[in-house]
Structure 1
Amino acid sequence: MDDRTPVLIGAGEVVERPAEPLLAREPVALMAEALRRAAEDAGAPALLAALDSLDIVNSVSWPYPDVPEAFVREFGQRPARLVYGPVGGESPVRFLHEAANRIARGEARVAAVVGGEATHAVAQAQKAGITLPWTTPDPNWRRTRGRDYLHPLAVRLNVADPVHVYPFYENATAAHWGQTPAEGQAASAALWSRFSAVAAANPTAWIRRAAAPEEIATPNERNRPIAFPYNKLMVANPMVNQAAAILLCSLATARAAGVPEERIAYLWGGAAAVEPRDYLNRDHYHGAHAQEAVLDACNAIATEEAAGFAAFELYSCFPCVPKMAGRHLGLPADAVPTTTGGLTFFGAPLNNYMTHAAAGMLRALRQRPGRAALLYGQGEFVTKHHAVVLASRPPRVPRLPQDYSVQAEADGRRGPVPAFTETAEGAAAIETHTVLHDRDGRPHHGVVILRLADGRRALARVPASDAATIALLKRPGRTPIGTPGIVAPAADGILEWRPA
């Protein structure tokens, strides 16, 4: 092996749940602690002095004027390369992949990826009217929700946040797989129950309690329905105080620092691709070409190495994502595709979950000598996909540095995209759908993505007052997808749909 072969050597995690907000540490303090723990985990704390490349995962919970500068003040050290990343749940996987590429090119010897959030403490402080004594916030800071690239009609109908968009995929995939809504819901609840059992055994998880499928699937006051078919226990939980860091270096550096071989993991390679950012510009909602191209490329790496995957982390913001990935990979129905616990039960520190997942995967590989694992992350609205193959042995076929894009393959698989229209009147069938609920669990309104008689696509509302149609959208025994109906503009100009 080349001395510049990149290796993962340490993982550090922090979870805090103080009795009151003033005892909580701010995000950059959690990050700094996680990075120190990663070096200690490697058995080489002195390597932090040689850190020459640091990627900081986008942090949202506190309005810092400058996150990298705040981190440097807290950590007491400025790496030569210090980069703050954009929003994206897949971004930690990309940062790991790019750090490995830089090490393989000889541009860095010691690199790290770090991220953290303190959303729970911030929310508790706001609720109690407490001013947190953290880094002075930027008065002009605004949380970016990424709505500028979505169709304005999606924003008007309140289907511009992940919790309201992923149900379109959940309902479409279940119908495509021949499942009734009840069967799809049961599969999601069983999968999420298995995730919860992993979180229950993970000391850095936020919810350390296994939940039965019935508890997850049944809506009630503690598990309120949010966007059909998702209840609260099926969606990502950002109300956490968590941080994680991964430490990488060259193989020569690891050996010189005395890092034991059995604590090292290798990044064999990976792949990345994206879907059109506006989800209304996709060809269908029962899969994602970018996801499938990425997973196929990683499978090809494992095949070339004559290795099967002994562990998986399939991004789990909402059930449809790991269900889609697991089916494409051919995993058994009772698979447990996580070493971490998932974004509901482990917790969803916004963009940083996959750094925690990499930490969990490093620990898992240390218990599986000679085996390989798949680390898959995604971001936005089933939009950005990045996966890497990690292993506890070196690759037989060196691939790094690697051009990891499989965008051309993903684009080549894409079918025709229906033209979108805001104005229509007449026959229209449901392509996919959801029902949004108030906090008290009552339906607020339904939203349907439609296919018109001429093949165009439209987005329409089902008002809560139309109880019969809301019931049709939520019926458990038969999917409403494909149901013919009539679309027409309402008084406010927004299209509304009813069955024919």
Structure 2
Amino acid sequence: ATEEIWFPTQRTSFHESPALRRAASEALARAGTTQGELEALDLYSCFPVAVEMACDMLGLSEEDPRGFTVTGGLPYAGGPGNNYTLHAVAAMAERLRELPGRQGLVTGNGWYLTKHSAAVLASAPRREAAAKEPFAPTSESLPPKSAAQPVELVEAAFGPATVDTYTVTYDREGAPERGIVVGHLEDGRRFLAHTPGERALLEDFAASEGVGRKGTVSHKDGKNLFAPA
């Protein structure tokens, strides 16, 4: 199991999960196999981004013919506390019992892609070379927490700024209502901000890529406001 920087707003990157990559890579290495040799996969699927991120970190095509679940996926497995990953392990074991000598990978995560686990299941013992390695990860071989340092988050932000990631929220009539920006200042510090509420601006943010967009952030009445250039 591995862990990212705890607060998402302080992570160095929003498009990758080094902890997921480490967990899966170590599980595959200790099983003496590669993702290309796996018979089946069950990637934790709380939201589409979790599956897409896992594909990127494992080097999988999103069109992989093996599919990404042996259970049907978490969206169809009940509400909170449904113990989904154990169901995935059980379903994978059932699948592999029918396929002697084959292997499968099960992953799990918690919070905001924060905690990650990965396990390779097989219907045969580990290969001899892999079996010589100690099974339990050590702190030297698999640091549980990210080695990256959290990005400093500033509450009251001022000055030139760049968008790191963002979203647009909508009202109940389907109209854009507010832009929410996570960005950084010129000195690298991170900030959270709203955008102005003009509909044209929000529609532009929703229709075109805003990551990397330059602008200015100011602080007033306890809130940061990011105005695109």
**Superposition TM-score, scaled by structure 2 size:** 0.85
Residue 443 of structure 1, CA deviation: 3.2
Report the equivalent of 2:146: 411
Unaligned runs of 5+ in 2: none
Aligned counterparts, 1:88-487, within 5 A: 272-303=1-32, 308-335=37-64, 336-344=67-75, 346-351=76-81, 352-396=83-127, 397=131, 402-403=136-137, 407-408=142-143, 411-412=146-147, 414=148, 416-463=149-196, 465-475=197-207, 478-487=208-217
Residue 278 of structure 1, CA deviation: 1.2
1:433 and 1:449 in contact (8 A); partners too: yes
| Bigger Cα Rg | 1
CA spacing shift, 1:306–1:437, aligned 2, 3 Å: closer
SS of corresponding position for 1:408: coil
2:10 and 2:190 in contact (8 A); partners too: no
After superposition, what is the alpha-carbon deviation per residue over 1:269-322, rounded to whole angstroms, capped at 9, x for unaligned? xxx110121112211111112111101102212436999211111111122222
1:307 and 1:372 in contact (8 A); partners too: no
Residue 447 of structure 1, CA deviation: 1.0
Counterparts of 2:16 and 2:34 in 1: how far apart (Å)?
A: 28
| Structure 2 residue identity aligned to 1:321 | A
2:161 and 2:185 in contact (8 A); partners too: yes
Calculate the aligned-residue CA RMSD, in Å: 2.5
After superposition, what is the alpha-carbon deviation per residue over 1:462-495, rounded to whole angstroms, capped at 9, x for unaligned? 25x32122112211xx4110011111124x3110
Residue 440 of structure 1, CA deviation: 4.4
| Structure 2 residue identity aligned to 1:297 | E
Counterparts of 2:159 and 2:48 in 1: how far apart (Å)?
A: 34
1:373 and 1:391 in contact (8 A); partners too: yes
Residue 423 of structure 1, CA deviation: 0.9
SS of corresponding position for 1:474: helix
Counterparts of 2:57 and 2:171 in 1: how far apart (Å)?
A: 34
Residue 373 of structure 1, CA deviation: 0.6
Counterparts of 1:431 and 1:283 in 2: how far apart (Å)?
A: 10
CA spacing shift, 1:404–1:440, aligned 2, 3 Å: farther
CA spacing shift, 1:439–1:348, aligned 2, 3 Å: farther
Report the equivalent of 1:260: none
CA spacing shift, 1:327–1:431, aligned 2, 3 Å: same
Report the equivalent of 1:198: none
Residue 455 of structure 1, CA deviation: 1.5
2:24 and 2:119 in contact (8 A); partners too: no
Aligned counterparts, 1:44-63, within 5 A: none
| Structure 2 residue identity aligned to 1:408 | P
1:293 and 1:409 in contact (8 A); partners too: no
Counterparts of 1:434 and 1:394 in 2: how far apart (Å)?
A: 47
Residue 362 of structure 1, CA deviation: 1.9
CA spacing shift, 1:343–1:440, aligned 2, 3 Å: farther
Report the equivalent of 1:73: none
Counterparts of 2:186 and 2:121 in 1: how far apart (Å)?
A: 48
Q: How many residues align?
A: 222
CA spacing shift, 1:489–1:311, aligned 2, 3 Å: same
Residue 398 of structure 1, CA deviation: 6.9
Percent identical across equivalent pairs? 35
CA spacing shift, 1:279–1:437, aligned 2, 3 Å: same
| Structure 1 residue identity aligned to 2:32 | T
Name the structure where helix makes up a greater proportion of residues. 1
2:170 and 2:177 in contact (8 A); partners too: yes
Residue 383 of structure 1, CA deviation: 0.4
CA spacing shift, 1:447–1:307, aligned 2, 3 Å: closer
Report the equivalent of 1:496: 225
Unaligned runs of 5+ in 1: 1-271
CA spacing shift, 1:444–1:359, aligned 2, 3 Å: farther
1:302 and 1:308 in contact (8 A); partners too: no
CA spacing shift, 1:361–1:480, aligned 2, 3 Å: same
| Structure 2 residue identity aligned to 1:426 | G
**Superposition TM-score, scaled by structure 1 size:** 0.41
SS of corresponding position for 2:126: coil
